[in-house]
Amino acid sequence: MNLEVIKFLILTTIILLLPVTIQEGYLLNVLVFVGIHTMLAVALNLLLGYAGQISLGQAGFFGLGAYLSGILTATHGLNPWLAIAIAATTVTLIAFIVGFPILKLKGHYLAMATLGLGIIIYIIFNEAVEITGGPSGLSGIPNLSLGSIKFDSDLKNYYLIWVITLICMGLSLNLVHSRIGRALRSIHDSEVAARVMGVNARLLKVQIFALSAGLSAIAGSLYAHTMTFIAPASFGFNFSVELVTMVIIGGLASVYGSLLGAALLTVLPEMLRAFQDYDIIVYGFLLIVMTMYMPGGLVKGGVTLFTALKVKLNKLRMGSAPNA
Amino acid sequence: MQLSDQIAQYLVSGLSTGAIYALIGIGFAIIYNSTEIINFAQGELVMLGGMFTLFFLNVTRLPLPIAILLAVAATTVSGILFERLTIRPLKSPSQISLIIITIGGSILIRGIAMTVWGKDTHSLPAFSGSEPLSIGAATILPQHLWIFGLTAIAIIANKLFFQYTITGKAMRACAANRRAAGLVGIDVKRMVLFSFAISAILGSLAGIIVAPLTMTSYDVGIMLGLKGFCAAIIGGLSGGIGTVLGGLLLGMLESLGAGLISSGYKDAIAFIILLLILFIRPQGLFGKAQTDRV
């Protein structure tokens, strides 16, 4: 067994055993959110970290998944699993189609276009009142169930969300270590060079964009079925930025980093409830400082900082030693 | 009211919001041309303009003209500080890191404004009364006239600055070729700083003159900034007449769309236009095509 598999298995064991030590419903509920956010951050990282293409509209796809699932089940009485499948397929297809014109754009043009797309989707959630319930939201979304098990408690939701999150992480790890992963990184470094080497950069970028949107939609569906209530406020521009922050803090091009970023940015605000209104300041500050001083994210940044300190200490020791 | 009168009315109010978009858009273009940075915090400078005016007007009880001048100054200082603290320390920034840093800056400024001034929306008094004047079929507020007048003055002053002053010419040289400008002795870093200052002045002015019409709060910057960017894109990020036309066009389309189709989707209209322009003519309606060098 190689190191990657062992790392992943250790993580899986920890996550599956965690509820044994945590009995409190509230904390489990926070961990359910960590799972959903991890899925979203991993999905965004495939696009932003590996392919180097920014998306500021990710909350829109998350919301589309949630609303499609919610409307199909609460309004039309469809089976929730079928609704998730339909939502994921539809959003993937939509992203694939808009992906061609959008990913022709680069840098800030791409950022603005994805941002615009996200805001248009958000406005539709608010304005299409007959379908979405408008600003007051959509309620009565059924929980998922598997045979006789109904996912209606925090503990059951924990296992539901984390099993799916772990599958997403496993698939993503597999993807980024494959030929496709290498092709993605080559696009990140130089799209022209990648093209010269025979990578169909255009198609690959669109495919990753669609995959990332589809995974976000699945996360959205799961969110809708565990919360049983959704409102547009959860899918706005601020949440898109929050997701980018998670990816940046955890580290670009790191699947485990996304887990760390999602966990930090979900658990910390919960612990700092008293500072609720200040979290927007914290996000802004973190985005700037991390990008300026730790562009590799917390994991890589920590390692670099540690090595740099060690080198410095060694130098000091060498310098102070006599006749060195 | 007849449909033609209604349309005339929509056009008048569309033109005045369009003028605001134009001012903000020129701010985007000035920074972009000297640094190739799209400053995502541009909208927050617009918001700061309105909020600082309120602060100087209500808290320090200064007369409106002085409050406005101080607000422009305070916003400009904020813009300069932002450049000094976040953009200048970067050694070899990538485009993605610049995008993320300016987004970080925008939410940081928004968050600070929220903690200082709260979440309420405020209104600024109109500069000279709110007795509507009728011009032909449409009525027009005195504030609209202020907007047209001040926008025209700002744009002309901007044009003269870049055309005739040494600093303006130096900034244009930086825009054309940073390395060459540096080689002939232009302090490129200082020109970058100037571009942030000028765009802060234009942005805050826009935020101040529109506040009596639309109210202001800590989070108005997102939409205003994005629409300013939209104007700049229609104008091909030119910083000149193209962006002005882009702003006016956007303002009118949005106003017509809101009046004739649906007011709820008003903001979506601007973004659909933005996406269409980016997809079909990313160099802008009035811009020249560029080729990327590798």
Mutate to test the interface with B, among A281, A282, A283, A294 (most CBs of B within 10 A): A281
Closest by alpha carbon to A210, among A199, A218, A222? A218
Instruction: Give residue-wise pLDDT tens across range B43-77.
Output: 999 999 999 999 999 888 899 999 999 999 999 99
Instruction: Give residue-wise pLDDT tens across range B224-235.
Output: 998 999 999 888
3-state secondary structure of A283: helix
Q: Distance from B38 to chain A by nearest Cα, in Å?
A: 7
Looking at this predicted complex, what is its ipTM?
0.87
pLDDT at B92: 75
Work out the average pLDDT over B249-259. Answer: 92
pLDDT at B3: 81
Residues 6+ apart with CB under 8 A from A240: A55, A56, A57, A58, A59, A60, A115, A118
> A-chain residues within 8 Å CB-CB of B279?
101-102, 104
Is the CB of residue A28 less than 8 Å away from at least one CB of chain B? no
Label residue B108 by pLDDT band (50, 70, 90): very high
Calculated CA dihedral for residues B12, B17, B20, B24, nearest 10 degrees: -140
Is the CB of residue B101 less than 8 Å away from at least one CB of chain A? yes
pLDDT of B291 > 60? The answer is: no
Q: Report yes or no: A75 and A206 within 8 Å, Cβ to Cβ.
A: no
Chain centre distance of CA B45 = 8
Tokens of B48: 């700061």
Looking at the partner chain, which of B90, B95, B271 has a beta carbon nearest the beta carbon of A108? B95
pLDDT at B289: 54
Looking at chain B, which residue has its C-alpha nearest residue A101? B279
Contacts 24+ apart (CB under 8 A), A287-290: A287/A241, A287/A244, A287/A245, A287/A248, A287/B100, A287/B101, A287/B103, A287/B104, A287/B107, A287/B108, A288/B86, A288/B101, A288/B104, A288/B105, A288/B108, A290/A248, A290/A249
> A residues 135-154 near B, CB within 8 Å?
none
Residue with tokens 């951050």: A41
Is the CB of residue A134 less than 8 Å away from at least one CB of chain B? no
Q: Which tops the pLDDT comparison, A320 or A243?
A: A243
Instruction: Give residue-wise pLDDT tens across range A41-95.
Output: 999 999 999 999 999 999 999 999 999 999 999 999 999 999 999 999 999 999 9
Q: Report yes or no: A67 and A194 within 8 Å, Cβ to Cβ.
A: no
Is the CB of residue B219 less than 8 Å away from at least one CB of chain A? no
Percent of chain B with pLDDT over 90: 48
Work out the average pLDDT over B87-116. Answer: 88
pLDDT of B138 > 80? The answer is: no
| DSSP state at residue A46 | I
Tokens of A91: 């959003």
Work out the average pLDDT over B15-38. Answer: 91
Looking at the partner chain, which of B100, B105, B271 has a beta carbon nearest the beta carbon of A116? B271
pLDDT of A1 > 80? The answer is: no
Q: Distance from B81 to chain A by nearest Cα, in Å?
A: 14
Mean pLDDT score of chain A:
90
Pairwise CA distance, residues B189 & A117, whole Å: 35
- Is residue A9 exposed (0-12), middle (13-18) or buried (19+ Cβ within 10 Å)? exposed
> A-chain residues within 8 Å CB-CB of B111?
278, 280-284
pLDDT of B125 > 90? The answer is: no
Q: Distance from A202 to chain B by nearest Cα, in Å?
A: 15
> A-chain residues within 8 Å CB-CB of B271?
116-117, 119-120
pLDDT of B293 > 60? The answer is: no
Question: How far is the first Cα of chain A from the last one, in angstroms, to the nearest whole number?
Answer: 46
pLDDT at A205: 94
Q: Report yes or no: A73 and A222 within 8 Å, Cβ to Cβ.
A: no
pLDDT of A321 > 70? The answer is: no
pLDDT at B37: 87
As a CATH number, domain A3-277 is 1.10.3470
Contacts 24+ apart (CB under 8 A), A187-196: A187/A51, A187/A52, A188/A50, A188/A51, A188/A52, A188/A253, A189/A52, A192/B294
Instruction: Give residue-wise pLDDT tens across range A100-125.
Output: 999 999 888 899 999 999 999 999 99
Q: How many CB atoms lie within 10 A of CB B5?
A: 13
Work out the average pLDDT over B280-287. Answer: 76
Q: Which tops the pLDDT comparison, A274 or A184?
A: A184
pTM for this entry: 0.89
pLDDT of A286 > 90? The answer is: no
Q: Distance from B279 to chain A by nearest Cα, in Å?
A: 6
Is the CB of residue B272 less than 8 Å away from at least one CB of chain A? yes
Question: How far is the first Cα of chain B from the last one, in angstroms, to the nearest whole number?
Answer: 58
Is the CB of residue A280 less than 8 Å away from at least one CB of chain B? yes
Question: Between chains, do A284 and B108 touch, taking CB under 8 Å as contact?
Answer: yes
Q: Which tops the pLDDT comparison, B288 or A133?
A: A133
Instruction: Give residue-wise pLDDT tens across range B178-200.
Output: 888 889 989 988 999 999 999 99
pLDDT at B127: 87
Question: Between chains, do B107 and A241 touch, taking CB under 8 Å as contact?
Answer: yes
Tokens of A141: 């979304």
Looking at the partner chain, which of A127, A248, A288 has a beta carbon nearest the beta carbon of B86? A288
Q: Distance from B181 to chain A by nearest Cα, in Å?
A: 25
Mutate to test the interface with A, among B37, B39, B275, B294 (most CBs of A within 10 A): B275
Q: Report yes or no: B44 and B111 within 8 Å, Cβ to Cβ.
A: no
Q: How does DSSP assign A155-213, residue by residue?
A: HHHHHHHHHHHHHHHHHHHHHHTSHHHHHHHHHHH-HHHHHHTT--HHHHHHHHHHHHH
Question: Between chains, do A107 and B95 touch, taking CB under 8 Å as contact?
Answer: yes
Q: Where are the domains of chain A?
A: 3-277
Question: Between chains, do B38 and A105 touch, taking CB under 8 Å as contact?
Answer: no
pLDDT of A167 > 50? The answer is: yes
Mean pLDDT score of chain B:
88
Q: Which residue blocks in chain A are alpha helix, DSSP H?
A: 3-21, 25-45, 58-70, 80-102, 107-127, 129-132, 154-176, 179-189, 191-196, 201-227, 237-250, 255-271, 279-293, 297-320
Pairwise CA distance, residues A265 & A243, whole Å: 9
Closest by alpha carbon to A235, among A80, A88, A117, A125? A125
Looking at the partner chain, which of A105, A120, A124 has a beta carbon nearest the beta carbon of B278? A105
Label residue B287 by pLDDT band (50, 70, 90): low
Looking at the partner chain, which of A192, A282, A287 has a beta carbon nearest the beta carbon of B103? A287
Contacts 24+ apart (CB under 8 A), B146-150: B146/B209, B147/B16, B147/B19, B147/B20, B147/B209, B147/B210, B147/B213, B148/B15, B148/B16, B148/B19, B150/B205, B150/B209
Q: Distance from B163 to chain A by nearest Cα, in Å?
A: 28
pLDDT at B110: 93
> B residues 35-74 near A, CB within 8 Å?
37-38, 40
Is the CB of residue A247 less than 8 Å away from at least one CB of chain B? no
Mutate to test the interface with B, among A103, A124, A291, A294 (most CBs of B within 10 A): A291
3-state secondary structure of A321: coil
pLDDT of A324 > 70? The answer is: no
Question: Between chains, do A109 and B104 touch, taking CB under 8 Å as contact?
Answer: no
Is the CB of residue A292 less than 8 Å away from at least one CB of chain B? yes
pLDDT of A201 > 50? The answer is: yes
Mutate to test the interface with A, among B106, B271, B276 (most CBs of A within 10 A): B271
> B-chain residues within 8 Å CB-CB of A102?
279
Beta bridge partners of A139: A229
pLDDT of B130 > 90? The answer is: no
Is the CB of residue B114 less than 8 Å away from at least one CB of chain A? yes
Question: Between chains, do B111 and A281 touch, taking CB under 8 Å as contact?
Answer: yes
